[in-house]
Each structure stands twice: as structure tokens, then as C-alpha cells.
Amino acid sequence: MNTQLCECKLAANGAPPAIAGDHDAIFKWPVITGEDENAVLEVLRAGTMSGTAVTRLFESEFAEYLGSRYALGCCNGTAAIQEAMWACGVGLGDEVICPSMTYWASCTAALALGAAVNFADIDPETLCIDPADIEHRIGPDTKAIIVVHYAGHPCDMDAIMEIARRRGVRVIEDVSHAVGSRYKGRYCGTIGDIAGMSMMAGKSFVVGEGGMVTTNDRELYERCMAFGHYERVAASRFSSASEKLLDPALARYAGVPQGGVKHRMNQTCSALGRVQLKYYPRRIEEIQQAMNYFWDQLEGCPGLRPHRVAPDSDSTMGGWYYPRGLYRAEEVGGLSCAAFCRAVAAEGVNCSPGANFPLHLHPAFHEMDIQHTGKPSMIAFAKRDVRQGPGALPVSEKIGDICFGVPWFKHCDRRTIDQYADIFKKVVEYHRELL
């Protein structure tokens, strides 16, 4: 189309895209310097990729950063969450409660352990588990509530911990999106009974392919080690490992992991993690400034709301992993979130509707037979069927209508951020062109 003749304002209708220039620097992540490279090379040259000495240093530094008594490095976040579940006693015929709108690894290990997942809905403002949808799901076999600090937003932990303590259920925090996020001054990953988190290359805290368990509970820590870290469990004629377990029942199997799995972190990752951790607080402080600045520019823009905690509170969004905006179509003449995002994308900004798909509708949580029993794992060992169909969790099911992705700025370069904020404003201002 000849853009000179086009009177429309939006690129979606033929106007020239608004974003010009190369903005790679503001988005580049992770930040890898010579210090990171040297740390990794040192492990490679020493040939100690499969050792644990560097990992132990990383664990103690990470535990100190969060303010957690114990930390245990794992090969990925999925493994860390599986250990945490087993440590909490999740097994055959049990149930866990988990938000439906999350990545599958928050809960799928429960199926492998022979337990079922009772999915809860999310809160449309926090995108985290809705505390009001938890308690009625607790039954005699509920062992744990898994909470996900979604896209860096801390869950309402006061309400969740009150329910869990009163009903005698463990709380497992999935901190994969929220390393460095604080809830009322305390770091996510130190508030529930135990936490598991991903540190894979796409996250805000990056070690490569890795994960971490954190807990203040010695017993849970030991159970995690017993599950997947055979080389760490000492006190047996079968093992020369150095870490003494206090629980003799766990120590009895030293040298053989009780989960039948090996979850050790590769030390090239631990070495990278140690260097990343040194700079992480400073780097995410800049992300906080950048993302809060972006949202401040959109203050009062109809249809759009920030997905964030109050900037002046003692809670934070950590590294703002996978930043979302909240979309309210009724304020922009009913324009769908998908159409809004297409228009923003046409301006040259990476923008798409929704977040993770709702797990309660996925066939895996209705049909998948992991244990080959001839029955879906969700009901193979359970005393009740907690599978849920369409309409059961309305907020999770409309996730594609109520939220969208926004640029993940790593530096507080106001001129560049203004350009992006202006595009979101422009699409809202001229949204009638799209109706």
C-alpha cells in the first residue's frame, strides 16, 4: 500500500510501523562477561563438570542471598520441584493443588509419583493462584499446595500459609519466574515449606540448564538429597560421600538415590551461577526501574493495566521474567486482546496475547497413563476423580483475553522505553480503526 495515501494511524491498517532502529541492547539477556566465561572455562579445564565442590559454594551463596537455611543445586527446575514434592510426602493416591495457568513442570511430577493434581483458578490481577479457590479442594489425601509466583509476581503468601498451616498441608513454592522477587520484604522461595526453581537460559536468573531447591527445614533438605543426590548422602559402607544425614532411615540407602534418579547440577552451571549471582541484585534493580518506568508511562491508558506489585511497597517483581500486561477489552470498545496484540506487533513490537495455557484442559491431565495401568494417571491410584472440564476454572480459561506480553527491558533507557510505551498508547488511542 502507498503509505503516503494512507490516512490511518496504525501499522495494522497500512501506516508505517512505529519502531525504528536497533534496540537489541536494551533486551539482551543474560549478561555474559569475561568473568562468566573464565569461571566456566576453569571447570572445563579442571575436568570437574561432574563434581560437587563448586556447586556447594554456589548453593551456600544462593542460600545466603535468599535468606534460606539450605539450598540444593539440581540439573533443572523440573527435577527440583519433583524432589520437593517427594520430600513433602507426595506419593501414590495423594493429591496436590496447583494453579492451572502455569508451565507443566509446576505439577506434572505429581503424576509420575502416582498423585493427582487438583487444579485451582488464578486471580485475574496477580495471575497467581487464587487463595479463595484453595481450601475447598483440600481433602484427606492432599499433601501439598504448589504456588507459582507467576511472571515474577509474588503470590498472596499470608493467605496461602494461613490455610496450609490450619489444614496441615505443605506449601511448595515454584520460584522459576521469581528469583529475586520479594513478598513483604522476604524473598520468594523462603516463605513456604520448600521451594523449587528453574535457572534455565531463558529465565531471569540464568545458569544454563539448572535448578535449585531451597528450604529452612533440615528434614525436607535431607529427603531431597536422598531422592536424587546419591553422591551427597554419607554414612554408609556403600558411600564415601561427605554429607551426613541426621535421619538414619534416609542414610540407610546412602549410595543409591531413593527416587531412582540423578539430579546433580553440572558444575559449569554452578560456576556460571556464582558469577551471575554476584551481579544479579544490581541488574534486576535496573530492570525494576525500567519496567516500572514503562508502566508509569501507560498510567490511565484505557484497557491496559500493569501486572506488578505497588512500586512503593516492600514486595517486588524480581527480574520481571516474562512480563505481562492485564487487558480489559470492555474499556476499549470490546476490541479483543488478540486484535490489540496484532496491532501492536504490526508496529514492530513483539507482543502476543495470553500466557501459559490452562493445564486442567490438557489431555495429559485427563488421559495420560504414565504407569501403564490401563487408567489415566490422574485417577489410577486416587480415591476421587479431580479432573475438571471446560468452564471449571473461568479465569485460567480466558487467559488469552485478559493478558498480553510486553517488552522485557533490561536497562532503564528512558528514550527507548518511551518509544515502546507510545506504541501501546497509540494503538489504544486509535483502537476504533480496528473495530
Ligand X SMILES: Cc1ncc(COP(=O)(O)O)c(C=O)c1O
Q: Which is nearer to ligand X, 265 or 412 (CB)?
A: 265
Measured from the CB atom, the residue of 208 and 306 that comes closer to ligand X is 208
Do the strands 304-306 and 116-120 form a parallel or antiparallel pair, or are they unpaired?
unpaired
Closest CA to 191 of 222, 221, 216: 216
How far is the C-alpha of 116 from the C-alpha of 360, rounded, in Å? 11
Query: Which C-beta is closer to ligand X: that of 176 or that of 239?
Result: 176
In the bound state with ligand X, the residue whose beta carbon lies nearer, of 148 and 380, is 148
- Listed in sequence order, the DSSP H helices in 102-234 are 108-112, 157-167, 218-228
Three-state secondary structure call for residue 402: helix
Residues 193, 211: Cα–Cα separation, whole Å: 17
Q: How near is the Cβ of 244 to ligand X at its closest, in Å?
A: 29
Q: Indicate the residue type of 68.
A: S
In the chain, the amino acid numbered 367 is E
Residue that is written with C-alpha cell 527491558 in the block? 409
Residue 402: name the closest of 134, 117, 150, 26 by CA: 150
Q: Shortest gap between Cβ of 322 and ligand X (angstroms)?
A: 8
Q: Which residues belong to the active site? A: 203
The three three-digit cell numbers of residue 86, written as one number: 517427594
User: What is the rounded distance in angstroms from the CA atom of residue 233 to the CA atom of residue 227?
Assistant: 10
Residue closer to ligand X, measured from CB, 52 or 82: 82
Burial, 322: exposed, middle or buried (Cβ in 10 Å; 0-12, 13-18, 19+)? buried
Distances from the Cα of 131 to the Cαs of 110, 145, 249, 383, in angstroms?
21, 11, 36, 24
- Give SS3 for 277: helix
Sheet holding 194-198, edge to edge: 70-74, 211-215, 194-198, 170-174, 142-148, 95-99, 116-120
Nearer to ligand X, 105 or 399 (CB): 105
Shortest distance (Å) from residue 199 CB to ligand X: 7
Compute the least distance from the CB of residue 425 to ligand X, in Å. 30
Q: Which residues contact 64 (CB under 8 A, 6 or more apart)?
A: none
What is the contact surface with ligand X in residues (CB under 6 A)? 76-78, 102-103, 105-106, 148, 174, 176-177, 198, 200, 211
- C-alpha span between 154 and 206 (Å, rounded): 19
Q: Return d(Cα 396, Cα 126) in angstroms, integer.
A: 12
**C-alpha distances out from residue 163 to 87, 116, 168, 384, Å:** 20, 20, 8, 22
Measured from the CB atom, the residue of 102 and 270 that comes closer to ligand X is 102
Nearest-approach distance from CB 229 to ligand X, in angstroms:
16
Find the shortest distance in angstroms from Cβ 183 to ligand X. 16
95 or 174: CB nearest ligand X:
174
Cβ-closest position to ligand X: 77
Q: How far is the CB of 9 from ligand X (least distance, A)?
A: 37
